[in-house]
Amino acid sequence: MNFQRHRRLRRTASMRSLVRETHLHVSDFIYPLFFVEGENVKKEVPSMPGVYHISLDLLEEEIKEVESLGIQSIIVFGVPGEKDECGSSAYDHNGIVQKAIRQIKEIAPSLTVIADTCLCQFTDHGHCGVIENGYVRNDETLELLAKTAVSQAEAGADIIAPSNMMDGFVAAIRQGLDEAGYTEIPIMSYAVKYASSFYGPFRDAAHSTPQFGDRKTYQMDPANRLEALREAESDIAEGADFLMVKPALSYLDILRELKDRYPLPLVAYNVSGEYSMIKAAALNGWVDEKSIVLEKLISMKRAGADLIITYFAKDAARWLKENQ
């Protein structure tokens, strides 16, 4: 009989390791952190077991743990004490994100600090921009995004990560950063961000649920593939240094298409809903958390992601070390 003996290369663990095509490294992970006003606050987000709101007086302990695990990059989100119509605390010199960034860079100067640049956590209506007659105004929002990015760069952010999907947001932020003298600060664009139902737990964590309507006029229709390519191309033309696909798991086909077409570093955002579903199943004993998380993360790398934003970063770092 003439047939292929594929099983020869799967016979032992060392043989499987020898021929493994895709690998996870702790340096692949970007860990999201949520900082809040107040003192002595470390409060678990109800819909995201293991994820916390942390006040700045407890920041050092968290950052030291992240560093001890070998994680090299974090992305910072802030939940302000006060919100208003135009999200002014997003670009306040003493806003929660700016204060957190300054403190982190003092404690851990070599840690790469990425600032999420958006307005929804800071507006009282929960939308990602300026509202007029119930509609999010695109161009009026760009000015506020650029101010926010510059204030984050002033605080010490290493990378600016705009997430609100306004047309022209990369161009506006690039111009704002350059005019303020931050020509060396790269932009990690949430270039392909779908209007996904997987964001629910994040909105619980960031207190950013829209108070009316939804985000479908500025985030993408999950049914669309060609639109993702147009979004990526326009962000590259505007000066993006990284491209991101969000969410990751239901959009692995989009990750692969972007990887095959564009030479920029590609980021997958393993979002809150993807995290919470596994956590809930693991807490009920329905799945083996370690094996299913590592399988999920390797699928994102195999699809083309160079970096993965994941709430599992600390757990995955520990598991990878155990497996060494």
User: Domain locations in the chain?
Assistant: 22-323
Which tens digit of pLDDT belongs to each residue from 41-72? 999 999 999 999 999 999 999 999 999 999 99
Torsion of CA 267, 245, 98, 45, to 10 degrees: -100
Residue set of the binding site for Zn(2+): 118, 120, 128
Residue 134 to residue 130: CA distance in whole angstroms: 10
pLDDT recorded at residue 121: 86
- Selection from 282, 307, 320, 294 nearest residue 49 by Cα: 282
Note the pLDDT of residue 127.
81
Place of tokens 């006003």: 37
Domain at 22-323: CATH code: 3.20.20.70
pLDDT value of residue 96: 96
* 193 catalytic per annotation: yes
Give CA–CA dist 97/85, Å, rounded: 18
**In the predicted model, is pLDDT for residue 99 greater than 90?**
yes
246, 296, 301, 314: which is the annotated catalytic residue? 246
| pLDDT tens-place string over residues 118-161 | 988 888 888 888 788 888 889 999 999 999 999 999 999 999 99
pLDDT computed for residue 211 by the predictor: 77
pLDDT-based confidence at 324, cuts 50/70/90?
Answer: confident
Summarised one tens digit per residue, pLDDT across range 204-252 is 776 777 777 778 888 999 999 999 999 999 999 999 999 999 999 999 9
Annotated binding site for 5-aminolevulinate: 203, 215, 272, 311
Above 80 in pLDDT, residue 203? no
How confident is the prediction for the chain on average, in pLDDT? Answer: 94
Q: Binding site residues for Mg(2+), as ranges?
A: 231
Residue 231: CB partners within 8 Å, gap ≥ 6? 191, 192, 220
pLDDT of residue 271: 96
Condensed to tens digits (0 to 9), the pLDDT of residues 302-313 reads 999 999 999 999
Q: Span 82-102, mean pLDDT? A: 92
Positive/negative CA dihedral, 98, 159, 236, 303: negative
C-beta separation of 114 from 135 below 8 A? no
> Is 321 one of the catalytic residues?
no
Encoding tokens for residue 125? 């209506």
Q: Is 38 left (phi over 0), alpha (psi -120 to 50) or beta?
A: left
Q: What value, to the nearest 5°, has the Cα angle with vertex 43 and ends 203 and 189?
A: 40
Catalytic residue, chosen from 83, 99, 193, 296, is 193
Q: Look up residue 80 and give its two tokens.
A: 């302000």
| Torsion angle, alpha carbons of 203, 43, 280, 119, to 10 | 10
In the annotated binding site, the residues are 118, 120, 128, 203, 215, 231, 272, 311
The pTM of the full predicted model, rounded to 2 decimals, is 0.95
Least confident window among 122-126, 139-143, 170-174, 285-289: 122-126
Helices (H), 156-288: 169-179, 200-206, 226-238, 252-261, 272-283
DSSP character string of 60-110: HHHHHHHHHTT--EEEEEEE-S--BTT-GGGS-TTSHHHHHHHHHHHH-TT
pLDDT of residue 124: 83
What integer pLDDT is reported at residue 135 of this predicted model? 86
